[in-house]
């Protein structure tokens, strides 16, 4: 059984659609942000989330694999975190609209991380 160390409904949906058996164990790992290094940001956050879940599996002597991830938006040398409210979400959309921004996702599985970078325009 796979452990998804994420509360993201989208990530859970992807695994379900792939037919993967998993259980969710949301991580309370604090997130870090390196304002000028989006790759380091997603790498360290993905690893930290996975390490919290992995420590719990070790405590229970559970041999499940742990999958964790972190995604950020990068535009004009700035990391856009989750908006704190509707007004900030609207501000983000106005700033990103009509421009190309980059989405970085770090995916960790049992301590190994891969980073995917996608350019997006809307």
Q: Which residues are catalytic?
A: 70
The rounded Cα 67 to chain-centroid distance in angstroms is 10
d(CA 82, CA 33): 12
69 within 8 A of 105, measured Cβ to Cβ: yes
Q: What letter would DSSP give residue 77?
A: T
């Amino acid at each position: 059984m796979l452990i998804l160390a994420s509360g993201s409904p989208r990530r859970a949906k992807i695994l379900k659609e792939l037919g993967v058996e998993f259980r969710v164990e949301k991580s309370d790992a604090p997130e870090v942000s390196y304002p000028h290094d989006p790759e380091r940001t997603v790498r360290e956050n993905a690893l930290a989330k996975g390490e919290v879940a992995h420590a719990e599996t070790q405590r229970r002597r559970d041999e499940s694999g742990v999958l964790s991830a972190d995604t950020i938006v990068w535009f004009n040398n700035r990391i856009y975190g989750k908006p704190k409210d509707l007004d900030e979400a609207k501000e983000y959309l106005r700033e990103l609209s009509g421009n190309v921004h980059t989405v970085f996702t770090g995916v960790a599985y049992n301590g190994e991380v891969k980073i995917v970078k996608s350019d997006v325009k809307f």
